[in-house]
Structures are given as C-alpha cells and as structure tokens.
Structure 1
C-alpha cells in the first residue's frame, strides 16, 4: 500500500469546511452564497498542507498550473527541511503550455532537475486516462 497525499492549495480558493486549524490562517472569513469558505491560495498553504501530510504519507504531490521549477524547489526545500526522506510527486501535464513557460533547454532539463530535488514520481495523468480509454474502446 502506498499513501499519496495531494494538495491543490496553490490555486484553490474555496474550502468546504473551516474546522481544520491548519487552514485557519489562510481563511479570509468570507463565505460564498453556496456556503464555501474563501481561502488565500499560494505556496504558504501548499507547504503547510505538505508538512501536515508528510508524517502520514509515502508520497507528497503538489498540483501546479504551470511547469515551474521555482515552485517545485520551494515545496521540496520546505518539506525536506523537516522530513528529508519524503518522496515527492510531480504531474508533468501535457495541458501545460510548456513553450510559454520554458525555453527548449529548460524543457530538456526539467525532469532531471525535478529528480535532483527529490521528485521521485514524475507522471502524466492524462496519458493514463487516454490509455485506459483506448483499452476500453478496444474491449467494447
């Protein structure tokens, strides 16, 4: 059994509940008409959640909206400062606009640099989804 803990706090701006004291400092005090709690997204809540999950998870996954080595490094350094052996995961999504974020040289080195930071599981979730659908199409 492998326990993977994922956080989308980098972009998330809503929570369903404000009962977790670890989220309190990120809550704005506002609620939506539907009852969601507004929170400030960013690296601070990402790191806070990663540190909270680390003692209980085998692998930490911080979801990002762009391929960003600075964000990946900030997360890795914060986690490894307290939990040096924690394995990290990174979604190398084909949905990213890689060319808009990085030049060809940085793209070529991206995965190696992630690996050097401790990102032991680098994956493409969309590829798995497509291969699953292809197999089901063949089965049908």
Structure 2
C-alpha cells in the first residue's frame, strides 16, 4: 500500500503535475478478514502493530501442524486463525483501531486526503476516528461518501429515537425496528431525523473534519426512479401527459438544455462541419422546419 502511494506521487513528478491529490481509502471498519500477514522487522514497527489485530491462538512447537503459519510476538508463538478460504481473521472490535492506523500511515506516506468507509452515517462515530487520527496528524482531512447504500431514513430515525430516549423523552409510541413505516412520517421524531439529515454535511464538516462530501451513483437511482414514475403514468391513465407534464414542461420552464436533445447529441456541430465542407450543398439536420425550433 505504501509502495502504491509512493508510485502515485512519483507519477505526479514525472508528469509534471503540481496540484495532484492522493485520496487514501480504507475499508478496515467493515473488513474482518485479510489475505496477507504483514512483514515485521522489529517489535513495534508497522507490521508488528498490524499483526497485533489478528485473531490468534498461542501454540508450541509440539502442537504445530503441517502447513501451519505462525508469527512470533513477545516471545510467544502465535497461530493466526485461518479460514477454509485461506483468509486470516481479525479480532472482533478492532475495526476502528485499524482504520486509525491505516489513515495515519497513509497520511505519513504521501496521501493528502482520507476516505473512510463506514457502515452507517453517524457523525460521532466518524469524529471519534478522526480525533484519534489528528493526535498524530493534526491537519488530517476527510473525504466522506454520503452513500446511497445506507438507509438514511431508518438510520437517522433510529439515531433520533436513541437521542430522545437518552434525554428522557417518552418514545413508547415508536417501534425502533419499524421506524421506516410511513405511519411515522409526520411525527416529531421523523421531523427531527430529517433535520439531522439536512444538516449532515455541515455538522460533519464542523465535528468530524469532513473536507469533502461526495455521493456515489445518485444518478443510478434518479434514473431508475424517474423511469419508473414515467412508465406508470405513460402506460396508465395519464398516457402522454405523464411525459409532457412530468418531464418536457419542466425542462422548458426550468431551462434544462436537454429539452433540445438534438443539440445535446451534437446535430448543430455536425451541421457546421457539413456546411464548412459542402457549402450550400450541405444536407443538414437543422433548419427552419426542425422540430427543435419549437423550443426557442
């Protein structure tokens, strides 16, 4: 991993890139397995610290089996637990510590920004790890993925539930496991959760040092949802009105360039080329009678 960071930095130098940014991502929080054991040359070095997270059992020379892999730490022979898949297992509950080690190591070896993958959008969890990282690298900055993989509604309603319960509020009207239920949409808890979602980016920047919020593949979901909405209307009672009212009319009134899809496909550029090479004999896609002119 460190070699890859060095290689990217060297590539920047070779290519004359003065403003290149290296973002180092870690998935250690949710990763319970590893393919490799780290190389250690001395107690307390990076490899030794990494191997300390492995789930191991102490063995002796007499209890070793053929093909067993062992490491020596603090005078003991330790056999990492290896699964049938040939992967080694980390000790449960070490995810955050491994994230911190990953991030400090990356920043100290050429990375500019961090990307920590988490299993839920929880600012205090993120902040706790960043606080530890900043003890070693005070100016550490984080890229965070506001991932569509999270169930944002359920996560934040459960966080709101826990907050209200901790404050001594009566939450008996809510089923924590069923907070996605539409019956809760107009409740005080749901409004609190939505407000926390609305301010998530601002709060994450202030509390957890998140320098840049990104959101992966949102257009995958918007494309699917809009297509589903259109199909239900177009093949239902609305017919063509589903497209006109739901899509085209909005494109026109909101100034969305895609309403002139011919231009977006490059027809005007093609016409310019044809006219340049063929003059008056050019057979162009555009012209006074082109339907695109209906849109101004």
TM range (shorter): 0.7 to 0.9
1:87 is displaced (CA, Å) by: 1.6
Other-structure match for 2:134: 80
Distance (whole Å) between structure 2 residues aligned to residue 127 and residue 108 of structure 1: 16
Assess if the C-alpha contact under 8 Å between 2:33 and 2:88 holds in 1.
yes
What aligned pairs does 1:66-105 form with structure 2 within 5 A after superposition?
66-102=120-156, 103-105=193-195
CA deviations on 1:67-91 (whole Å, 9 max, x unpaired) are 1111111121112222122221110
1:18 is displaced (CA, Å) by: 0.9
Q: Report the TM-score, using the length of structure 2 for normalisation.
A: 0.42
Other-structure match for 1:113: 203
**1:24 pairs with 2:51:** yes
Q: Which of structures 1 and 2 has the bigger CA Rg?
A: 2
1:127 is displaced (CA, Å) by: 3.1
Other-structure match for 1:135: none
Other-structure match for 1:125: 216
Structure number having the greater helix percentage:
2
CA deviations on 1:21-70 (whole Å, 9 max, x unpaired) are 13211111211112111113521111121111121210111101111111
Aligned length: 133
Structure number having the greater strand percentage:
1
Q: Report the TM-score, using the length of structure 1 for normalisation.
A: 0.85
Distance (whole Å) between structure 1 residues aligned to residue 216 and residue 153 of structure 2: 19
RMSD: 2.2
Distance (whole Å) between structure 2 residues aligned to residue 118 and residue 96 of structure 1: 20
2:107 counterpart (39, 54, 63): 54
1:34 counterpart (68, 78, 85): 85
Gaps of 5+ in 1: 132-137
Gaps of 5+ in 2: 1-19, 40-46, 56-79, 157-192, 222-263, 266-296
**Moved >3 Å (runs of 4+):** none
Assess if the C-alpha contact under 8 Å between 1:43 and 1:71 holds in 2.
no
Assess if the C-alpha contact under 8 Å between 2:142 and 2:211 holds in 1.
yes
